[in-house]
């Protein structure tokens, strides 16, 4: 057996067939039931001419269909491609063309978007539609999801698979159109899926993984808060199911903090995975006002975005017995490192103990000396993605070779402390140059959110005639409480240097973030620039 995700799931399903693999809404699937349904869908795709190396778009909310579909595609060595369900027709058209989609699984409500996106293009080989109460009709041949399963056999008579089969995650839509990160299954298993042992040492063989699941050594019940359009949620799915554990989903289009907390008690959830402050803050607000049984919850893990220190402190106060884990990583790098509790901070900035393959490099590819105070870029070697799908230029930009070794350099600036910790400073692409000084938005955002009345904040640069750019903050407050620039500046002076303090503020009713929880800096820049122009 190889480290192929479909092979591994099937082997685990054989030893824990009656374990609950998935619970979402009114749907519960055991490992054997989920396996048989995925077989049926896989055979349907095969009947439509879809097979090894082909791509099928998953244009879906969270629910059992996404889990079944991505597994079905891996069974026939095809690839499920995540499509943001908020995309409009031109963006979906881009995904069809860029990802070379031969099929799409979508919701009935999105059929008009699919119709518009496919106008003038050859029909898809398979268009599978999930009923959701809408009544839109497709302009090409289509089939309802359950009907597609009925047409397929539940037998496992698939061709042999490989650990080198592809898993592609489209990411990076916050700055331009998404790019497809190409992972081989075996590389993602170790770099992104914790090697089959959440929080422990990676397995040494596929057989060990199956034995662990059979004996329940690492079995967990996990609830990903993020949508499956986000790599972090997909990783949570496979991390959970490769332990023989139960994956719990809040189905539907949006994150509901109240329902998430209810599910913790209803489903005996042991681990919640979320994406940074955007999801943690509503949970905090709900915990403060509601009465929820959190006795089963052991871990809250953030991946894809770092929990700020002020938000983490609030969670610790509300849930003192729960371990809070910040995972640092990207779709391109996998899991770079994790920190829990007091390990997390160095002079107010997130600080992580990284794995042996992770370091900080200068512009020439040399490792930054620990304790030197020099700034460089976080980089990882070892098991890496092959690159971006159909984008050699972006691949060359992100994946580098130094001293005969291949590295992924996601673009995060950091320093290395004397004890080996890597302190995260921020994403270089959003760095603000004000009067020759570099300001990382994340640091100022953290300072703002340390104010008891500020719930969420984004920081951007706007043009300034004297300094080139000035720091501008867009944020919202508890109860929409008004605040003056002077009040905000006085608060920030206790947390950051003077040149980092916002010179302009805009208070909004909410802060825009993508469904994944990642910040919408384009929105914040538009808000800040409008205000700057109004006062010019």
DSSP state of 158: P
Can you say whether the dihedral through the CA atoms of 219, 225, 230, 232 is positive or negative? Answer: negative
C-alpha separations of 526 from 264, 523, 531 in Å = 38, 5, 9
Residue 287, token pair as written in the block:
């915990």
Look at residues 351, 355, 321, 357 and name the one whose alpha carbon lies nearest to residue 339.
351
Residue 414 has pLDDT above 60, yes or no: yes
Tell me: the pLDDT tens digits for 310-335? Answer: 888 899 999 999 999 888 888 899 88
Q: Give the Cα separation of 298 and 520 in Å (integer).
A: 31
CA angle, 16 then 166 then 254, to 5°: 70
Q: For the chain, give the percent of residues with pLDDT over 90.
A: 72
Tell me: the pLDDT tens digits for 273-283? Answer: 998 888 898 99
Residue 173 has pLDDT above 50, yes or no: no
Residue 506, token pair as written in the block:
């805009």
Q: Give the Cα separation of 149 and 153 in Å (integer).
A: 8
Look at residues 105, 110, 116 and name the one whose alpha carbon lies nearest to residue 139.
116
Look at residues 534, 528, 535, 532 and name the one whose alpha carbon lies nearest to residue 475.
528
Element (H, E) at 169: strand 166-171
Average pLDDT, rounded, for the chain: 92
Label residue 349 by pLDDT band (50, 70, 90). Answer: low
- pTM, 2 dp: 0.87
- The residues pairing with 462 across neighbouring beta strands, listed in sequence order, are 470
Tell me: the pLDDT tens digits for 508-527? Answer: 999 998 776 778 899 999 99
**Residue with tokens 């791509």, as numbered in its chain:** 55
Q: For the chain, give the percent of residues with pLDDT over 70.
A: 96
Residue 440 CA to its chain's centroid (Å): 21
Residue 308, token pair as written in the block:
């700020």
Residue 341 has pLDDT above 60, yes or no: no
C-alpha separations of 352 from 201, 328, 344, 414 in Å = 18, 8, 6, 10
Range 126-134, long-range pairs (CB < 8 A, 24+ positions): 126/44, 126/45, 126/48, 126/50, 126/56, 126/102, 127/103, 128/44, 128/69, 128/103, 128/104, 129/105, 130/60, 130/63, 130/65, 130/105, 130/106, 132/107, 132/108, 133/108, 133/109, 134/107, 134/108, 134/109
């Amino acid at each position: 057996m190889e480290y192929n995700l479909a092979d591994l799931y099937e082997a685990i399903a054989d030893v824990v067939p009656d374990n609950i693999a998935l619970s979402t809404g009114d749907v519960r699937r055991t490992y054997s039931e989920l396996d048989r349904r995925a077989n049926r869908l896989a055979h349907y795709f095969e009947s439509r001419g879809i097979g090894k190396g082909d791509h099928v778009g998953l244009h879906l909310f969270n629910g059992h269909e996404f889990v079944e579909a991505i597994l079905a595609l891996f069974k026939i060595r095809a690839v499920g491609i995540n499509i943001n369900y908020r995309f409009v027709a031109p963006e979906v058209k881009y995904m069809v063309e860029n990802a070379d989609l031969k099929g799409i699984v979508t919701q009935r409500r999105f059929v008009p978007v699919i119709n518009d996106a496919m106008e003038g293009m050859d029909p898809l080989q398979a268009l599978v539609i999930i009923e959701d109460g809408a009544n839109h009709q497709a302009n090409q041949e289509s089939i309802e999801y359950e009907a597609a399963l009925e047409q397929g056999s539940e037998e496992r008579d698939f061709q042999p698979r490989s650990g080198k089969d592809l898993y592609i995650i489209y990411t990076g839509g916050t700055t331009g159109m998404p790019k497809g990160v190409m992972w081989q299954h075996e590389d993602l298993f170790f770099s992104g899926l914790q090697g089959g042992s959440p929080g422990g040492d990676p397995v040494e063989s596929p057989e060990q993984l199956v034995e662990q699941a059979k004996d329940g050594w690492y079995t967990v019940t996990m609830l990903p808060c993020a949508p499956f359009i986000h790599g972090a949620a997909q990783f949570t799915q496979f991390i959970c199911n490769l332990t023989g554990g139960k994956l719990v989903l809040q189905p539907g289009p949006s994150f509901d903090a109240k329902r998430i907390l209810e599910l913790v008690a209803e489903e005996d959830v042991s681990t919640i995975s979320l994406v940074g402050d955007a999801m943690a803050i509503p949970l905090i607000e709900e915990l403060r006002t509601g009465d929820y049984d959190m006795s089963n919850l052991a871990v809250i893990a953030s991946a894809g975005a770092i929990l700020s220190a002020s938000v983490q402190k609030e969670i610790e106060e509300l849930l003192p017995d729960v371990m809070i884990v910040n995972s640092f990583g990207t779709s391109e790098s996998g899991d770079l490192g994790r920190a829990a509790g007091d390990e997390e901070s160095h002079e107010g900035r997130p600080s992580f103990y990284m794995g042996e393959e992770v370091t900080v490099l200068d512009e020439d590819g040399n490792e930054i000396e620990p304790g030197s105070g020099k700034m460089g870029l976080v980089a990882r070697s070892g098991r890496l993605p092959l690159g971006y799908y159909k984008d050699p230029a972006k691949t060359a930009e992100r994946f580098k070779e130094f001293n005969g070794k291949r590295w992924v350099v996601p673009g995060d600036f950091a320093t290395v402390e004397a004890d080996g910790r890597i302190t995260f400073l921020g994403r270089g692409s959003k760095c603000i140059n004000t009067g020759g000084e570099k300001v990382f938005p994340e640091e100022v955002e953290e300072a703002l959110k340390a104010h008891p009345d500020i719930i969420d904040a984004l920081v951007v640069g706007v043009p300034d005639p004297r300094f080139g750019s000035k720091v501008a903050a867009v944020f919202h407050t508890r109860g929409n409480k008004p605040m003056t620039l002077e009040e905000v500046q006085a608060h920030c002076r206790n947390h950051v240097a003077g040149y980092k303090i916002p010179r302009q503020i805009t208070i909004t009713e909410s802060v825009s973030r993508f469904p994944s929880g990642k910040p919408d800096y384009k929105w914040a820049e538009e808000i800040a620039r409008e205000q700057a122009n109004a006062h010019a």
